[in-house]
């Protein structure tokens, strides 16, 4: 190679002479040798600047003058493989580029000539990109005109060239856009209109349309007449029955998105450079402080075909391509996507249409990416990794009759571009909550597949959690007025209330397990994420739950036992904190679950593991007590389910007594308030069975013996454990007499008996009285077991004293006396049962 580099310069003049030889074979061999000399680095470095310029000029002259196709092709090939210095190419650019343009025009009618010319052009583009961009209006027209050629190979070569040149010609220089606009007006647009009626050319025509829009760029906006004529082409292809044409139209539509929105990115970038978090309401504004109306009009134009396609029953591949183009639009909007008006036009319509479609196996692959996108919108997350839009087995790859993709973009269904979401604001809550309700409403129908229902509900819960976390972040780090937070809480609480009540009002409970679980988890999310707001005394709500309203009666509110809670009593339409409101919601869901489904799984188990006592336990316990006593006036089945609910809450309470017996709270409120609430809770089964509200339900109450026995057995077991636990905690946390807790409990039980003397005088054969007696006797046995023995002096004071302070077990003996009196009545009804309980 060293020897050859020494002899190459002297050989060059001879080669340049031979390339013009009349014998094609001699000229061809000379061109091949010349091409090798211009390509190999060792040989190129040995050629002087003058010789290199002479070689290029000779090649350019040969290309435009030869009458032999092979020689023309080899001449262009030499240009495409040369490795000359850039400054030499720049000195000869006019002649060389003129020769390449001549070859591109295909003077011999051969695609091989066009192919070699395009290869030469791409080589020059890598060496002089700026120069080629400046004169693109001279060399590019012969290329882009071939996009509407009937010859498929010519179209493919042209598109490959444009793809290679895209970084140079886009965004298009004004001169190129002007030249193309002139071409379109002259004859190119008319040619497109004629060709598009050929059914085999529709996909190719819309691809060409996309390139023309790309090369026109933003200048298209200044030529309204040309724009209107250009838009008539996709009007025809978007409604074509061929999915290949529709997908190609959607891909080409992205080029119009580029043209329509490129001018909006400059103020956005400027805002980003000056502000950490740009105020999107000030982006793209004119001097009159109104959002650019032209931008809104352009957005509406861009959204028309997307909404039309996603709303109609096209194939899944067309819908997926539509989502891809829509995502590209959102990406191109940059931070403008966060402007309320832009969101209203570009984001919400497609989202609403997607989620209005009932989820099924056919469209679940539309739901999944949209759920991810919607979650990112709520969370204010910019996705830089992209999301895969292709579900398994989705037939998204479309080929034409020759096996070539309809477009280089047509098989691309991956969201690789990020969308710059800003954090969700309070004013935007209504829309995501509406979408969540739409998703949940699909799950309310019985026809939906169980797996799809589970997927929809879990998705709704995930989105709702993102909403609540966004609200939490906004309130935690922003200085927001209390009235704004109150409105936000109103929206969330109203959503939860309507959700829980809609599910509870269902007539068909066969598929309600997941629905109730979703409602339960939604309330739990609010309590966990927003506990600092729910417990605040600044925010209040009216307790307007229908479940509470149905239990409103004079019997409940006038019960002296419940009135012992004094001002703590909470009922329908009372004003409560959001924490109490959400607890009532949880209990309403729990009540429906127990009433219609099961107590052995789901919500009841979750309640026992993680209940309400993490936030202000004593107040939550009071709310639970009030909720239970609402059932005194409800139908019998609700009364009996409330006993199951009482057991569940009691088990949870035993796991959370540390919070209930909080020393700091007791020092402020004193033990009497806490004792009253605990007494009301622990006595609920006793109150339920002894009040006159159970009268008249005898036939319904007479359960199968085994069922009633199991219910009462489980109830007594939990009651005994709870009393033992609370009595121990009371003695450990409150410095008082060891029998104070038992004595106070007996005092309130006596009041209950005083208000329900009918049980002591009614001798009718009523299973209600039997059940009451069984519970009463078991409770009394438990209390007596826990009474601490007194010495003789203490016993004398207890029996003969006149002051309550000196009677730590006086009420116990009084209650025992009442029990003996009731026993006489029970003996008349069921002697065997009465004797057994008295004997114990």
Arithmetic mean of pLDDT over the chain: 80
Residues 110-139: tens digit of each pLDDT = 888 988 999 999 999 999 999 999 999 989
Residue 443, phi-psi category: left (phi > 0), alpha (psi -120 to 50), beta (remainder): alpha
Of 452 and 281, more confident? 452
**Residue-by-residue DSSP string for 527-562:** HHHSHHHHT-TT--EE---HHHHHT--HHHHT-HHH
Question: What mean pLDDT comes out for the span 544-566?
Answer: 62
Query: Is the pLDDT at 218 greater than 50, yes or no?
Result: yes
**Lowest mean pLDDT: which of 4-8, 332-336, 360-364?**
4-8
**Lowest mean pLDDT: which of 335-349, 527-541, 606-620, 776-790?**
606-620
575-576 and 541-542 as β-strands: parallel, antiparallel, unpaired?
antiparallel
Question: What mean pLDDT comes out for the span 20-31?
Answer: 93
Residues 637-696: tens digit of each pLDDT = 888 888 888 988 888 888 877 666 664 455 445 556 778 888 889 989 888 887 654 444
DSSP state of 615: S
pLDDT value of position 569 = 62
Report the candidate in 381, 379, 469, 388 with the shortest Cα–Cα distance to residue 419.
Answer: 381
Report the candidate in 353, 210, 227 with the shortest Cα–Cα distance to residue 294.
Answer: 227
Report the candidate in 499, 547, 489, 542 with the shortest Cα–Cα distance to residue 522.
Answer: 499
**Lowest mean pLDDT: which of 153-167, 646-660, 803-817?**
803-817
pLDDT value of position 215 = 95
Contacts of 655 (CB under 8 A, 6+ apart): 608
CA 278, 283, 289, 293 dihedral sign is negative
Binned at pLDDT 50, 70 and 90, residue 555 comes out as very low
Q: For the chain, what percent of residues have pLDDT higher than 90?
A: 36
CA atoms within 13 A on the CB side of 225: 4
Question: What mean pLDDT comes out for the span 54-58?
Answer: 94
Beta partners for 399?
405
**Residue 100 CA: distances (Å) to CA of 110, 138, 142, 356:** 14, 11, 11, 56
Paired tokens of 175:
């001169």
Question: What mean pLDDT comes out for the span 156-182?
Answer: 92
**Residue 157 CA: distances (Å) to CA of 73, 113, 141, 164, 482:** 16, 11, 15, 11, 65
Cβ atoms of 570 and 628 within 8 Å: the answer is no
Contacts of 87 (CB under 8 A, 6+ apart): none
pLDDT value of position 26 = 93
Query: Is the pLDDT at 374 greater than 60, yes or no?
Result: yes
pLDDT value of position 759 = 55
Distance CA 371, CA 462 (A): 9
Distance CA 248, CA 665 (A): 70
Question: What mean pLDDT comes out for the span 753-758?
Answer: 74
Query: Is the pLDDT at 233 greater than 90, yes or no?
Result: yes
Distance CA 531, CA 475 (A): 12
Query: Is the pLDDT at 408 greater than 50, yes or no?
Result: no
DSSP state of 612: S
Cβ atoms of 91 and 53 within 8 Å: the answer is yes
Tell me the three-class secondary structure of 54-112, residue by residue: HHHHHHHHHHHHCCCHHHHHHHHHHHHHCCCCHHHHHHCHHHHHHHHHHHHCCCCCCHH
Q: At what angle do helices 2-18 and 49-65 cross, to 10 degrees?
A: 40
Helical H segments across 141-195, by residue range: 141-144, 152-169, 174-183, 189-195
DSSP state of 414: E
Q: Which residues of 622-656 are buried (b: 16+ CB within 10 A; e: fewer)?
A: bbbbbbbbbbbbbeeebbbbbbbbbbbbbbbbbeb
Name the one residue in this structure whose structure tokens are 């078991």.
778
Cβ atoms of 690 and 749 within 8 Å: the answer is no
Distance CA 415, CA 385 (A): 9
Q: Which helix (H) or strand (E) holds 500?
A: helix 482-504
Query: Is the pLDDT at 701 greater than 50, yes or no?
Result: no
Tell me the three-class secondary structure of 292-351, residue by residue: CHHHHHHHHHHHHHHHHHHHCCCCHHHHHHHHHHHHHHHHHCHHHHHCHHHHHHHHHHHH
Name the one residue in this structure whose structure tokens are 């109203």.
494
Binned at pLDDT 50, 70 and 90, residue 401 comes out as very low
**Lowest mean pLDDT: which of 178-182, 388-392, 539-543?**
388-392
Q: Which helix (H) or strand (E) holds 575?
A: strand 575-576
- Quick check: helix, strand or coil at residue 173? coil
Report the candidate in 155, 175, 184, 279 with the shortest Cα–Cα distance to residue 219.
Answer: 175
Binned at pLDDT 50, 70 and 90, residue 503 comes out as confident
Query: Is the pLDDT at 393 greater than 50, yes or no?
Result: no
Distance CA 490, CA 494 (A): 6
Residues in the chain: 840
Of 619 and 221, more confident? 221
Residues 569-617: tens digit of each pLDDT = 677 888 889 999 998 998 998 888 888 776 666 566 666 665 566 677 7
Question: What mean pLDDT comes out for the span 200-216?
Answer: 93
Binned at pLDDT 50, 70 and 90, residue 492 comes out as very high
pLDDT value of position 413 = 43
CA 525, 526, 531, 532 dihedral sign is positive
Do you find a cis peptide bond into 76, omega within 30 degrees of 0? Answer: no
- Quick check: helix, strand or coil at residue 245? helix
- Cβ neighbours, 10 Å, residue 620: 26
pLDDT value of position 506 = 75
**Lowest mean pLDDT: which of 249-253, 414-418, 517-521, 597-601?**
414-418
Report the candidate in 475, 491, 490, 380 with the shortest Cα–Cα distance to residue 434.
Answer: 491
Cβ atoms of 435 and 495 within 8 Å: the answer is no
Query: Is the pLDDT at 141 greater than 80, yes or no?
Result: yes
Question: What mean pLDDT comes out for the span 484-497?
Answer: 93
């Amino acid at each position: 190679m060293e020897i050859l580099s020494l002899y190459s310069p002297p050989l060059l003049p001879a080669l340049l002479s031979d390339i013009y030889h009349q014998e094609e074979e001699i000229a061809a061999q000379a061109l091949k040798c010349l091409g090798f000399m211009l390509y190999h680095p060792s040989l190129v470095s040995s050629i002087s600047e003058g010789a290199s310029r002479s070689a290029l000029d000779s090649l350019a002259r040969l290309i435009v003058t030869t009458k032999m196709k092979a020689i023309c092709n080899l001449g262009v090939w030499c240009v495409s493989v040369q490795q000359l210095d850039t400054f030499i190419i720049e000195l000869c650019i006019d002649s060389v580029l003129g020769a390449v343009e001549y070859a591109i025009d295909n003077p011999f009618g051969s695609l091989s000539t066009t192919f070699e010319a395009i290869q030469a052009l791409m080589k020059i583009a890598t060496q002089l990109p700026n120069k080629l961009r400046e004169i693109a209006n001279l060399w590019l027209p012969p290329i882009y005109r071939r996009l509407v050629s009937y010859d498929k190979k010519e179209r493919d070569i042209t598109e490959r060239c444009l793809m290679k040149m895209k970084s140079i010609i886009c965004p298009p220089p004004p001169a190129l856009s002007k030249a193309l606009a002139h071409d379109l007006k002259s004859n190119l647009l008319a040619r497109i209109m004629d060709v598009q009626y050929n059914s085999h050319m529709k996909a190719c025509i819309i691809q060409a349309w996309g390139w023309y829009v790309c090369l026109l760029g933003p200048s298209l906006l200044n030529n309204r007449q040309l724009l209107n004529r250009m838009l008539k082409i996709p009007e025809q292809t978007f409604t074509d029955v061929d999915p290949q044409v529709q997908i190609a139209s959607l891909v080409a539509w992205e080029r119009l998105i580029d043209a329509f929105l490129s001018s909006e990115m400059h103020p956005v970038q400027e805002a980003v450079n000056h502000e950490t978090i740009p105020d999107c309401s000030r982006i793209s504004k004119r001097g009159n402080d109104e959002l650019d109306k032209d931008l809104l009009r352009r957005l509406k134009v861009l959204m028309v075909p997307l909404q039309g396609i996603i709303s109609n029953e096209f194939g899944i591949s067309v819908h997926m391509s539509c989502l891809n183009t829509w995502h590209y639009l959102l990406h191109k909007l940059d931070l403008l996507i966060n402007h309320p008006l832009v969101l209203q036009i570009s984001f919400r319509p497609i989202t609403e249409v997607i989620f209005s479609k009932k989820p099924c196996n056919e469209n679940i692959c539309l739901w999944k990416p949209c759920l991810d996108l919607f979650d990112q919108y709520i969370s204010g997350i910019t996705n830089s990794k992209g999301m895969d839009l292709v579900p398994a087995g989705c037939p998204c790859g479309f080929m034409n009759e020759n096996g070539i993709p309809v477009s280089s973009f047509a098989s691309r269904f991956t969201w690789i571009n990020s969308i710059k979401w800003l954090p969700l604001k309070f004013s935007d809550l209504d829309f995501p909550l509406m979408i969540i309700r739409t998703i949940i409403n699909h799950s309310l129908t019985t026809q939906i597949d169980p797996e799809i229902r589970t997927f929809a509900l879990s998705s709704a819960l995930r989105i709702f959690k993102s909403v609540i976390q966004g609200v939490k972040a906004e309130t935690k780090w922003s200085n927001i007025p209390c009235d704004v937070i109150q409105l936000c809480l109103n929206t969330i609480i109203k959503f939860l209330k309507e959700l829980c009540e809609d599910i509870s009002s269902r007539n068909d409970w066969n598929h309600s397990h997941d629905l109730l679980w979703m409602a339960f988890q939604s309330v739990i999310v609010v309590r966990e994420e927003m506990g600092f707001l729910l417990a605040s005394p600044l925010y209040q709500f009216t307790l307007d739950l229908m479940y509470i309203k149905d239990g409103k009666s004079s019997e409940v509110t006038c019960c002296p036992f419940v009135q012992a809670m004094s001002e703590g009593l909470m009922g329908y339409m009372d004003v409560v904190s959001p924490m109490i409101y959400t607890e009532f919601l949880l209990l309403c869901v729990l009540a429906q679950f127990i009433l219609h489904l099961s107590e052995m799984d789901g919500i009841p188990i979750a309640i026992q593991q993680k209940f309400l006592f993490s936030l202000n336990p004593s107040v939550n316990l009071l709310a639970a007590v009030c909720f239970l006593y609402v059932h005194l006036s409800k139908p019998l089945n609700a009364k009996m389910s409330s006993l199951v609910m009482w057991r569940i809450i009691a088990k949870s309470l035993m796991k959370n007594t540390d919070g209930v017996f909080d020393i700091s709270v007791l020092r402020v409120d004193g033990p009497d308030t806490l004792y009253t609430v605990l007494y009301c809770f622990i006595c609920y089964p006793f109150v339920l069975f002894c009040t006159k509200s159970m009268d008249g339900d005898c036939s319904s109450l007479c359960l199968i013996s085994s069922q009633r026995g199991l219910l009462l057995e489980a109830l007594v077991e939990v009651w005994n454990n709870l009393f033992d636990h609370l009595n121990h905690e009371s003695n450990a946390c409150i410095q008082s007499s060891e029998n104070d807790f038992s004595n106070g409990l007996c005092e309130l039980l006596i009041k209950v008996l005083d208000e329900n003397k009918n049980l002591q005088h009614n001798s009718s054969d009523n299973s209600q009285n039997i059940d009451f007696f069984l519970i009463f006797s078991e409770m009394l046995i438990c209390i007596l077991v826990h009474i601490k023995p007194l010495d003789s002096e203490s016993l004398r004071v207890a029996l003969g004293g006149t002051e309550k302070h000196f009677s730590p077990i006086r009420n116990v003996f009084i209650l025992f006396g009442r029990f003996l009196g009731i026993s006489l009545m029970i003996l008349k009804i069921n002697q065997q049962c009465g004797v057994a309980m008295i004997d114990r």
